[in-house]
Structure 1
Amino acid sequence: MLRNDQLAEWDRENFFHASTHLAQHARGETPSRIITGGSGVYIEDRDGKRLLDAFAGLYCVNAGYGQSEITDAIADQARELAYYHAYAGHGTEASITLAKMVLDRAPSHMSKVYFGLSGSDANETNIKLVWYYNNILNRPEKKKIISRWRGYHGSGLMTGSLTGLDLFHKKFDLPLNQVIHTEAPYYFRRADRTMSEAAFTAHCAAELEALIEREGADTIAAFIGEPVLGTGGIVPPPAGYWDAIQTVLRKHDILLIVDEVITGFGRLGTMFASDHYGLQPDLMTIAKGLTSAYAPLSGSIVSDKMWKVLEKGTDEYGPIGHGWTYSAHPIGAAAGVANLKLIDALGLVANAKNVGAYLLDAMRDALGTHPNVGDIRGSGLLCAVELVEDREKHLLFDSSRKVNALIVAEMQSNGVIARAMPQADIVGFAPPFCLSEDEADVVVKATQNAIRTVLG
């Protein structure tokens, strides 16, 4: 018999879960998964089952579970000062220190950090700052935001609109009309199979250019993109993509918001993916890896170019009218300081690069010839296996079969957590940065066995 059975009952009766089939969960058709502990790359549930978390929570427990340096910093900060706000020039030692540490790691043209709580609210902040910026520059019509299909930027009204996945739109009256979408840089899913990678990059840039021409560059404020598509399929861009996109944006005086919520602080084997791809953002979104999810914290990093205009705006109109009660929360900031120190001390960015390359190679060696594996891709400690009904014909499975969910469930029954990515039959991996090669082998073996069990 399960321990704490009453918890499962309370769970179904009281707890509104994110991204969950509410009716099935309430009826008991899906399990209540109650997690009680964790260490390194492993978590443990209430029944004592130990699971290798190959998705680091939601791409976020980068430093790994059970890191006492971070938990001790949280406890010390809570005892010293659990809360004070960041309004009207107030700060704490932790928030000020963390802002400097972030900017020391960010591209050199970035100027200031505004701290929030989640990637969603950071992107809401970004859009408000973009609109404020153009109003101060007397360009009131330049307000539309271009995002990409399959991009993920949050679950709010504006950020859910930026997200290019139907699941986050349907029946929510989204997207809002200030948001327009362009093609995803998803080479495996290209409509014209004869296109080379270079031709597909040129096609994506041309599609963006055509969208700007249709809408009018004088109406478009910014373009937002993840350096690597995350929830939309863990899709690294084709070669030359970001150079081509930035050329179009500069031509039309359109700001670039780089959403580094997943990639920031080392996931690609560089501190930021902006370094990896030569990006020059006007705004950067950070969250998950900022604290390794030990406490909620996000940030909007503002470039020198934008900061000068924001200062001008407050000289003309007074204090900027934006803030959250929990902006720069000292407990979150203390977690961030300890987390970034630990990532440096343990060499976790280099480990993400090295073990990430090992994981991708091992996955390709194990599954590269399987008739139902269409693509194995990744960058740093991001990896995805895309499944197809027929790899020669590039025929996809009927979505009603939920093949990836069956595979992920089989993996979990055998001790490894992966993610069934939405809107495609993709099994995703984003392990903690402390993953070892031996642990990577465990992940690969579990994936291989699960695919054989489900698909043969």
Structure 2
Amino acid sequence: MNNPIDAFPTSTRNRDISYHLHPYTNAVKHKEVGPLIIERGEGIYVYDENGKRYIEGMAGLWSVAVGFNEARLVEAATRQMQKLPFYHTFTHKANNPSIALAEKLVQLTDGAMSGVFFTNSGSEANDTVIKMVWYYNNALGRTDKKKIIARKRAYHGVTVASASLTGLAPNHKGFDLPLPQMKHVTTPHFYREGRPGETEEEFASRLAAELDAFIQQEGPETVAAFIGEPVMGAGGVLVPPATYWEKIQAVCRKHDVLLVADEVITGFGRLGTLFGSHKFNIQPDIMVLSKQLTSSYMPLAAILMNEQVHKTITEYTGELGVFGHGYTTSGNPVSTAVALENIRIIEERGLVENAARMGELLQSSLGALRDHPLVGEVRGTGLIAAVELVADKASRQPFDPLGRVGAMVAEHAQARGLILRNIQDSMAFCPPLIINEEQVGELVSTFTAALNEVAAKV
């Protein structure tokens, strides 16, 4: 039988433009510029259809820990495909990889978590978290305690409910979002939100006081949870100010508000610690994991619950007769088998430690660009960073229109063989955890050359 792809007379590029609606893409512009078609991967590099090599400076979508051609993950998927390619976890059914992965994830939290629920993506996971939080409060008879507080510029997904938690305008425009139960407070970005003369700790205290006042204004009996990324990713790689998480947690405990740590990006080594919660001493009631859980080789996400949440939900299912929620591929045996092998690789090769070492190099190397005429702020921790571009360094005046210069830098970097993401005019970096010292140098030097090219134009 002929390959179905060969049935189309037009080029691959034209077929994509004709039929494929891309996420996070201007579809009208896409018809003009077309796609960059990636054919294969090797380590931290990917290759396009013409054989050109690129450093994947974003690990795909903040997500590939072990590189783009890890044979052990392919073999793990193949073995499980041959043995049991699919089975569900509904109605008292299970499979061994999902059992083993749930146990492993709980062990990795050193007992802080006791229950696990699997979904297919971070968006689905955060959507499920909302339902779990509501279910939990209904179980406790707190039927009005349903509002969830997130932050402006947060990213928690794209389903109707999780996009409502997300604090980014493009996720709301045209979709009639956010839902009214989802609220947003100030972004913890000291460079943009700090006041003149204010220290980081004073800024953190102000944000905690804002949260406290907001909960009291809404009524603590109506506020169910606070959700946050340990480091905000798609909002611009925003590292929280000193003492922020300590003070936010205190407010949550004061008002009996559940704390949800969205570790979709920060989990499994990204910050140089196994979880972002470890980096900032966060003690969440619920954790959400995805992306580097399988290095995105297979779709999978996991919700981890502490003993109180897990026990309450479990007992309520007995009262109602069922936990009426789940996905066809919740706990898919192939996805969970790949996750187990991915975690083994991270542990065996010391990739968390490598992220800490290479992260220091990445941060210091990018930090050398602080004197560059286009650079307003360099920020990050571990192997995630951002360089924010400004029109005027002294006043921190952004470019107008916002995002034009960032897009130019991304285009020049790609032309030089480096794939980055501009978040408006913040250039984001998030390379695979396997990156080495030489490759960090290659990444930064390529970016610097692109930055200089754009500086000469603007």
Sort the TM-score into its range (normalised by shorter chain).
Answer: over 0.9
Q: Choose the corresponding residue for 1:417, options 416, 419, 422.
A: 419
Q: Choose the corresponding residue for 1:171, options 159, 164, 174.
A: 174
Superimposed CA distance per residue, residues 105-144 of structure 1 (whole angstroms, 9 cap, x where no aligned partner)? 1252201111110000000111111000000100000000
Which residue of structure 1 aligns with residue 398 of structure 2? 396
Which residue of structure 1 aligns with residue 444 of structure 2? 444
* Corresponding residue SS for 1:152: coil
CA–CA distance in structure 2, aligned partners of residues 225 and 108 of structure 1: 21
CA–CA distance in structure 2, aligned partners of residues 252 and 31 of structure 1: 51
Please say if residues 403 and 425 of structure 2, whose CA atoms lie closer than 8 Å, have aligned partners that are also in contact: no
* Corresponding residue SS for 1:24: helix
Q: Does 1:118 align with 2:121?
A: yes
Give 1:5 deviation, angstroms: 6.4
**Which letter does structure 2 place at the counterpart of 1:50?**
R
CA–CA distance in structure 2, aligned partners of residues 282 and 191 of structure 1: 29
Which residue of structure 2 aligns with residue 48 of structure 1? 51
CA–CA distance in structure 2, aligned partners of residues 400 and 430 of structure 1: 22
CA–CA distance in structure 2, aligned partners of residues 419 and 230 of structure 1: 11
Q: Does 1:20 align with 2:25?
A: yes
Please say if residues 187 and 193 of structure 2, whose CA atoms lie closer than 8 Å, have aligned partners that are also in contact: no
Give 1:312 deviation, angstroms: 1.8
Q: Choose the corresponding residue for 1:378, options 377, 380, 394.
A: 380
**Which letter does structure 1 place at the counterpart of 2:322?**
P
CA–CA distance in structure 2, aligned partners of residues 193 and 413 of structure 1: 40
Query: CA 1:206 to 1:138, structure 2 compared with 1: closer, same or farther past 3 Å?
Result: same
CA–CA distance in structure 2, aligned partners of residues 5 and 455 of structure 1: 39
Which residue of structure 2 aligns with residue 235 of structure 1? 238
Identity of aligned residues (%): 42
1:126-141 to 2 correspondences below 5 Å: 126-141=129-144
**Which letter does structure 2 place at the counterpart of 1:388?**
V
Q: Give the TM-score taking structure 2 as reference length.
A: 0.96
CA–CA distance in structure 2, aligned partners of residues 218 and 446 of structure 1: 53
CA–CA distance in structure 2, aligned partners of residues 98 and 5 of structure 1: 44
Which residue of structure 2 aligns with residue 101 of structure 1? 104
* Corresponding residue SS for 2:202: helix
CA–CA distance in structure 1, aligned partners of residues 165 and 147 of structure 2: 11
Unaligned residue ranges in structure 2 (runs of 5+) = 1-8
CA–CA distance in structure 1, aligned partners of residues 66 and 430 of structure 2: 12
CA–CA distance in structure 1, aligned partners of residues 188 and 402 of structure 2: 25
Please say if residues 120 and 153 of structure 1, whose CA atoms lie closer than 8 Å, have aligned partners that are also in contact: yes
Superimposed CA distance per residue, residues 316-368 of structure 1 (whole angstroms, 9 cap, x where no aligned partner)? 11121111001011111111011000111111110001001101101112x12
Please say if residues 194 and 203 of structure 2, whose CA atoms lie closer than 8 Å, have aligned partners that are also in contact: no
Please say if residues 399 and 425 of structure 1, whose CA atoms lie closer than 8 Å, have aligned partners that are also in contact: no
CA–CA distance in structure 2, aligned partners of residues 169 and 274 of structure 1: 28
Query: CA 1:110 to 1:453, structure 2 compared with 1: closer, same or farther past 3 Å?
Result: same
CA–CA distance in structure 2, aligned partners of residues 399 and 127 of structure 1: 36
Please say if residues 107 and 274 of structure 1, whose CA atoms lie closer than 8 Å, have aligned partners that are also in contact: no
Please say if residues 17 and 34 of structure 2, whose CA atoms lie closer than 8 Å, have aligned partners that are also in contact: no
Superimposed CA distance per residue, residues 395-450 of structure 1 (whole angstroms, 9 cap, x where no aligned partner)? 111135611110011001001111111xx310000000000111111111111111
Q: Does 1:272 align with 2:275?
A: yes
Which residue of structure 1 aligns with residue 325 of structure 2? 322
**Which letter does structure 2 place at the counterpart of 1:455?**
A
CA–CA distance in structure 1, aligned partners of residues 56 and 288 of structure 2: 25
- Kindly report the root-mean-square deviation, in angstroms, between the aligned alpha carbons of the 2 structures: 1.1
Give 1:195 deviation, angstroms: 1.3
Which residue of structure 1 aligns with residue 11 of structure 2? 6
* Corresponding residue SS for 1:37: strand
CA–CA distance in structure 1, aligned partners of residues 310 and 376 of structure 2: 45
Superimposed CA distance per residue, residues 49-85 of structure 1 (whole angstroms, 9 cap, x where no aligned partner)? 1101010000001111111011100011111111000
CA–CA distance in structure 2, aligned partners of residues 391 and 319 of structure 1: 58
Unaligned residue ranges in structure 1 (runs of 5+) = none
How many matched pairs?
448
Give 1:191 deviation, angstroms: 5.2
Please say if residues 12 and 25 of structure 1, whose CA atoms lie closer than 8 Å, have aligned partners that are also in contact: yes
Which residue of structure 2 aligns with residue 369 of structure 1? 371
- Runs of 4+ with >4 A deviation: none
Query: CA 1:401 to 1:309, structure 2 compared with 1: closer, same or farther past 3 Å?
Result: closer
Give 1:170 deviation, angstroms: 0.8
* Corresponding residue SS for 1:89: coil
CA–CA distance in structure 1, aligned partners of residues 241 and 265 of structure 2: 19
Give 1:89 deviation, angstroms: 2.2
**Which letter does structure 1 place at the counterpart of 2:27?**
L
CA–CA distance in structure 2, aligned partners of residues 89 and 410 of structure 1: 54
* Corresponding residue SS for 2:432: coil
1:28-67 to 2 correspondences below 5 Å: 29-67=32-70
Please say if residues 149 and 185 of structure 2, whose CA atoms lie closer than 8 Å, have aligned partners that are also in contact: yes
CA–CA distance in structure 2, aligned partners of residues 320 and 214 of structure 1: 33
